[in-house]
A and B are shown apart, each in its own frame.
Chain A
Amino acid sequence: MSGFHTNSKVIGWVEQRLPIFSFLHHSAVEYPTPKNLNYWWNFGSLAGFQLVVMILSGIFLAANYTAHTSLAFDSVERIMRDVNYGWFMRYLHANGASMFFLLVYTHMLRGLYYGSYKAPRELLWWLGVVIYLCMMGTAFMGYVLPWGQMSFWGATVITNLFSAFPVVGKFIVTWLWGGFAVDNPTLNRFYAFHYLLPFVIYALMVVHLWALHTVKSNNPLGIDVKTPQDTIPFHPYFTIKDLFGIGVFLMIYMAFVFWAPNFFGEPDNYIKANPMVTPPHIVPEWYFLPFYAILRAFTMDLWIIPAKLQGVVAMFSAIIVLLFLPWLDTSKVRSAAFRPIYKQLFWVFVADCVVLGYCGGKPPEGNLVMIGQLATAYYFLHFLVILPIVGKIEKTRPLPASISSAVLKPMEKA
């Protein structure tokens, strides 16, 4: 914390007692950042920005929302109609969830492409996976709050998944519901946790950044920073680059908020929840569709393991497998830029996720069942078989000596 000096008596007084200014200087001004970061590195700060947008808009919504089965739907409509700029807050929040996932998925794929999960960044990656899990929980519970048809039936389907576990399943479901069906106690606890989890995510984000600032950022070349010539200070270089990124992101985000606010939504959720009427297709929000496809890929009971249990276990495994990724990928080279085979496989994996998402959004009929099953098989094959083998047999391209030496030559495009 050497770079911080002040002539102000007040700041000096505070600094002696709580070194907050030198801390900020150290982590937001001096922080040495690889100078070759491309725009894919913007998505981390964008996700952080979006978390703040979600928390702020969420607090304003919470101030006007009523968590009761008979009032929730109308309280949301009151926000839309009678609360000043309530429609703006709600559309910010509802579209913001989709944007948040879009940013985080891009951030994760960036990590996958450039090998950002590899040593020494395993814990950084783990913290990210935990943040992602918390996001999924938060988003799921948030979607229940407007108490529309898809809210209610989504909650019913997803909570019922736990009934797949033998013996205890039934009790877990009753415990989750706080009763014998999705009802007022369920809505109340979902609201409580929907308000709590974003702050847990915020705390995790701080630890994520702590880990990041300890091991420092990866970069498109995937090689370690070797000399001070490889880095530039975070401020002003990345503060301005991140601000520019936020500007571009806001333009895309606001286009949805103002001109297509229900693009990501389901029309059915503008029908008040009715336990007596099941919608023809119950679909989760788009960001859960690949996992929904994995859940439904298992259609055959095996011995004593019913198909539903297989699906549930597979769905959770699809996320848990990410925790093992730093060791499943056996290649010592981080960046796909120097891994000719992995580079192709990465895009195959992305395509596989898109196919899964497509299958998850359609009714499981005809060829889609088989396609969903093959895509599910490939998802696990990618992590459990292909990555360990490719890392061993792949002939990687020679790595540049340092970031600055590579920057002087024409750079490998992502």
Chain B
Amino acid sequence: MRKLILTVLAALSVAGVSQTALAHEGPALQKPGFSFEGVFGHYDQAALKRGFQVFHEVCSNCHGMRLVAYRNLKEIGLTEDEAKAVAAERQIQDGPNDEGAMFMRPGRLSDHYIPPFANDNAARANNNGALPPDLSLIAKAREGGPNYVYSLLLGFDEAAPEGHTVPDGMFYNAYFPGGNIGMPPQIMDDLVTYADGTKATKEQLAHDVVSLLNWAAEPELDARKTLGLHVMIFLTVLTALFYALKVQIWKDVH
């Protein structure tokens, strides 16, 4: 039996090799350690709320988060009124009304996070030709996930190596494929004044906004890991009972 399990694990690790074979190029990712990692990991509500403040005040000027609805903000600790207020900050097109005309209205809880630009072309036109990607899934859509986004956000400090030319209007970031990124460095100490009084160091800002982005990508994570624990305890007991029965039933064979 042990041999069988070992073999299955070996097979799984082989499958794993094929995955890591495609790991990103560039320097090793920084791993700050997030509360949501690991079997028992869960989101840190305070970090999510701070992260949302960073996203809302800074990132959302260029990036959208179209898969997250304003109602979802209640899950990270905003009150209903706070979420409504956030939604109402931006206008969204609605209609047609009874006269057949389209009109603008403030966002509601049922709306998804209203993007900063009307469309991709408008986004490019306002960003020197570069398209700021929607961030709803960014923490799952890049090799390295949250560690990649964290490293990228803090990865502007180094100067480009000898012989590497950075085109006008772009910035050197060793973590970005090709090294040249259209996004200017954003994260700097005291970029925002945290409502909860936490000191807004660069590392803190990056950590918080990446936590928020991971929540945007995997809002089910807390429920998933909790249910997983229950399921695994159940399966352990069930499998142990099956094994005991198996031994009992088979004891006269051979």
The interface of chain A, by Cβ under 8 A from chain B, is 35, 39-40, 74, 77, 80-81, 87-88, 91, 98, 102, 105-106, 232, 236-237, 240-241, 243-244, 247-248, 250-252, 254-255, 257-259, 261-264, 266-268, 270-271, 280-281, 283, 286, 289, 354, 357-358, 360-362, 407-408
12 more CB-based (< 8 A) A-B contacts, given A39-B1, A251-B232, A283-B22: A87-B220, A98-B15, A102-B11, A106-B11, A247-B243, A258-B232, A259-B39, A267-B145, A357-B18, A358-B17, A358-B21, A362-B21
Q: Is the CB of A244 within 8 A of B243?
A: yes
* Candidates A40, A102, A247; contact of B235 at CB < 8 Å: A247
Q: Is the CB of B18 within 8 A of A81?
A: no
- Render B124-150 as a binary contact track against A, CB cut-off 8 A, 1 for contact: 000000000000110011110100000
* Candidates B19, B239, B254; contact of A407 at CB < 8 Å: B254
B residues near A289, Cβ cutoff 8 Å: 18
* Candidates B228, B245, B254; contact of A240 at CB < 8 Å: B245
- Render B241-254 as a binary contact track against A, CB cut-off 8 A, 1 for contact: 01101100110011
Q: Is the CB of A263 within 8 A of B67?
A: no
Also in contact, A281 and B67, with CB within 8 A (given A255-B232, A267-B145): no
* Candidates A247, A361, A407; contact of B22 at CB < 8 Å: A361
Chain A residue nearest to B145 in the complex (CB): A267
Q: Is the CB of A254 within 8 A of B235?
A: yes
CB distance from A412 to the nearest CB of B (A): 14
CB distance from B118 to the nearest CB of A (A): 17
Chain B residue nearest to A281 in the complex (CB): B22
Say if the beta carbon of B231 comes within 8 Å of chain A: yes
A residues near B17, Cβ cutoff 8 Å: 358, 361
Chain B residue nearest to A357 in the complex (CB): B18
Give bound CA distance, A102 to B11, whole Å: 8
Q: Is the CB of A280 within 8 A of B21?
A: no
Q: Is the CB of A254 within 8 A of B224?
A: no
Also in contact, A267 and B254, with CB within 8 A (given A98-B15, A244-B246): no
A residues near B5, Cβ cutoff 8 Å: 248
Q: Report the contact-size class of chain B (Cβ under 8 Å from the partner).
A: 35 or more
22 contacts between A and B (CB under 8 A): A39-B1, A40-B4, A102-B8, A102-B12, A105-B11, A106-B11, A237-B249, A240-B246, A241-B250, A257-B228, A259-B39, A261-B224, A264-B19, A267-B140, A267-B142, A267-B143, A267-B145, A270-B137, A357-B18, A361-B19, A361-B21, A361-B22
Say if the beta carbon of B27 comes within 8 Å of chain A: no
Say if the beta carbon of B96 comes within 8 Å of chain A: no
Interface residues of B in 137-187 (CB under 8 A from A): 137, 140-143, 145, 177
Say if the beta carbon of B200 comes within 8 Å of chain A: no
Q: Is the CB of A264 within 8 A of B15?
A: yes
Q: Is the CB of B253 within 8 A of A254?
A: no
Say if the beta carbon of B16 comes within 8 Å of chain A: yes
Most buried by B among A258, A261, A289, A408: A258
CB distance from A74 to the nearest CB of B (A): 8
A residues near B254, Cβ cutoff 8 Å: 35, 407-408
Say if the beta carbon of B14 comes within 8 Å of chain A: yes
A residues near B228, Cβ cutoff 8 Å: 254-255, 257-259
* Candidates B8, B72, B219, B227; contact of A258 at CB < 8 Å: B227
Chain A residue nearest to B20 in the complex (CB): A361
Chain B residue nearest to A81 in the complex (CB): B219
Interface residues of B in 1-57 (CB under 8 A from A): 1, 4-5, 8, 11-12, 14-19, 21-22, 39
CB distance from A280 to the nearest CB of B (A): 7
CB distance from A243 to the nearest CB of B (A): 5
Say if the beta carbon of B225 comes within 8 Å of chain A: yes
Say if the beta carbon of B238 comes within 8 Å of chain A: yes
Give bound CA distance, A102 to B137, whole Å: 28
Q: Is the CB of B14 within 8 A of A357?
A: yes
Give bound CA distance, A337 to B124, whole Å: 66
* Candidates B19, B137, B253; contact of A263 at CB < 8 Å: B19
Give bound CA distance, A294 to B139, whole Å: 33
Q: Is the CB of B243 within 8 A of A271?
A: no
Also in contact, A87 and B224, with CB within 8 A (given A98-B15, A102-B11, A358-B21): yes
Q: Is the CB of A286 within 8 A of B18?
A: yes
B residues near A251, Cβ cutoff 8 Å: 232, 235-236, 239
A residues near B212, Cβ cutoff 8 Å: none
Q: Is the CB of B140 within 8 A of A258?
A: no
